[in-house]
Amino acid sequence: MCAYDKSKKGNKILPLLAILAATLFFVAVVVFFVFQLFARKSPLAEYEILDSNPTSEQIEKTIDQLQKRAKSLGASISVTLQGEKMLSVKGEEHALTKDELTALISSGELQFILYSDLKTVQGGVPNEGDKVVYDKSKVLMTGDMIDEAEAKKRQMEGVEKTDYGVSIKFSDKGAEELAKLTGEHIGEQLAIVFDEKLVSAPNLKEEITSGECWISGSFTDEAARQLAAILCTDRLALQLKVKKYINQ
């Protein structure tokens, strides 16, 4: 006949209770710090949606695009819909500059067109940075097939000067189009236009078969990073404008 030792059962339960208590404490600490992390986010800006009847899908896609662009700039932001047509942006205080907050809402339309088909708004010959007008039907290629975009710097040949720019890698289909485009227009100037502004207009010396190209102009390091961040996403699903900057 065996006697049941209650003390042994108690000895087994106590360690389990201690482990459970420690686990609950650890979870509580993690939740607290996560809450504090999000609680520290401050209002940075408000964007107004200019489209007349934005759908929920367009709004969700735009929010995702803005967050991806900010991440490419090294910032974590939250974007929420306020009312029907206002997006509120929050993040770490001073996480993004005014210029970066403005750059986030660039439509992101990159186009390749022959320089000879461009003119300024006033009808003149365009220079880098000028707003340009052109027949949309003459656009040879767009940035829709960009796979990767990265801001880089390189040493300019023959001079002690650093050239800031964006290295672009196209998808397989984009690489084919780039090779065809450049092969057919060797000896001509190919204009690179971003949001209707002339970025650069290099002379095509040979067919580009690598599926990669280098975009440079009068870029600073910051401007190159902003352009790369924008090109990492598709064109914005909605048209936005800055309603106001906050705490800038």
Provide the pLDDT confidence category of residue 23 given band limits of 50, 70 and 90: confident
**Distance (Å, rounded) from C-alpha 135 to C-alpha 116?**
11
Amino acid residing at 58: Q
State the pLDDT at residue 2.
46
**Could you confirm whether domain 110-231 is CATH 3.30.1360.200?**
yes
**Distance (Å, rounded) from C-alpha 203 to C-alpha 170?**
20
State the pLDDT at residue 34.
52
What's the mean pLDDT when you consider all of the chain? 86
Domain 40-106+236-245, CATH: 3.30.70.3400
Mean pLDDT on 120-143: 94
Give the start-end residues of each E strand in the chain: 42-49, 77-82, 86-91, 110-114, 119-120, 132-133, 141-142, 146-155, 162-170, 190-194, 197-200, 212-216, 240-245
Mean pLDDT on 163-175: 94
Among 44-48, 72-76, 107-111, 158-162, the range scoring the smallest mean pLDDT is 158-162
Give residue-wise pLDDT tens across range 51-105.
999 999 999 999 999 999 999 999 999 999 999 999 999 998 778 999 999 999 9
Q: Quick check: 18 pLDDT over 70? A: no
- Report the 10 Å Cβ neighbour count for 84: 9
Q: Quick check: 240 pLDDT over 50? A: yes
Distances (CA, A) of 146 to 171, 172, 197, 219: 6, 10, 19, 20
List the chain domain ranges.
Answer: 40-106+236-245, 110-231
State the pLDDT at residue 50.
97
Q: Which two tokens stand for residue 138?
A: 């003459």
Give residue-wise pLDDT tens across range 200-212.
999 999 999 999 9
pTM for the full predicted model? 0.73
Give residue-wise pLDDT tens across range 193-236.
999 999 999 999 999 999 999 998 788 999 999 999 999 888 89
Radius of gyration of the chain (CA): 26
